[in-house]
Amino acid sequence: MSNAGRAGTGLPPGRVTALADAIRTVAPLDAPADARLRQFFRARPQMGVQDRAFVAEGVFAFLRHRRSLEALAATSEPRLLALATLVRELGKSVREVEAALTSDERERIVGDDVGRVLRRVKVKVDFEHRMSVDHTSDNGRAKTVPA
């Protein structure tokens, strides 16, 4: 998974695909997640260290926030959950994530599922960020609000 598919600062499409495949592998929770992820990596020896780190971080972020991501994305489709995880949990911009879509995916679903999910996720992230900024002081502690 090289940088060949990279457009500007976007994500390489292969990384998003690998993350979606890993989520598909680990999501059933029929074995410990770390064991399933280890099997996933062993079956793909061509993945480099950075790709493995990216996928591992994404899978465990997905598992930590699975319920809220599935509710927010309104789907259990691994590809859409991978995209939602990247935007909401890993802080990738919607533009970076959209850049990782193949031309077929862009034509087929960007206006529908992916576009809807990413817009919903982005709005949620912006709202959460705004709320955390509004309710914390410069030192990161909650502001006291007079009663």
| Tokens linked to 14 | 């292969």
- 21 within some domain: yes
Quote the tokens at residue 90: 């890993």
Residue span of the structural domain in which 127 resides: 3-134
State residue 139's pLDDT score: 56
Task: Tell me whether residue 80 is in a domain.
Answer: yes
Can you tell me which residue has the tokens 């280890």? 38
23-65 pLDDT, tens digit per residue, is: 999 999 999 999 999 999 999 999 999 999 999 999 999 999 9
Task: Decide if 139 is inside a domain.
Answer: no
The reply to whether 141 falls in a domain is no
Assess if residue 52 is contained within a domain: yes
pLDDT greater at residue 46 or residue 142: 46
- Identify whether the C-beta of residue 44 lies closer than 8 Å to the C-beta of residue 56: no
Output the DSSP codes for 41-84.
Answer: HHT-TT--HHHHHHHHHHHHHHHHTHHHHHHHHT---HHHHHHH
Instruction: Kindly state the tokens that stand for 73.
Output: 């994305």
In a domain, 60, yes or no: yes
Number of domains in the chain: 1
CB atoms within 10 A of CB 130: 10
> Residue 142's beta-bridge partner residues?
136
CATH number for position 58: 1.10.940
**What is the rounded CA–CA span in Å between residue 147 and residue 102?**
53
Q: Is residue 147 part of a domain?
A: no
For residue 146, the one-letter residue type is: P
Q: How confident is the model at residue 142 (pLDDT cuts 50, 70, 90)?
A: low
The pTM (predicted TM-score) of the whole model is 0.69
| Domain membership flag for residue 7 | yes
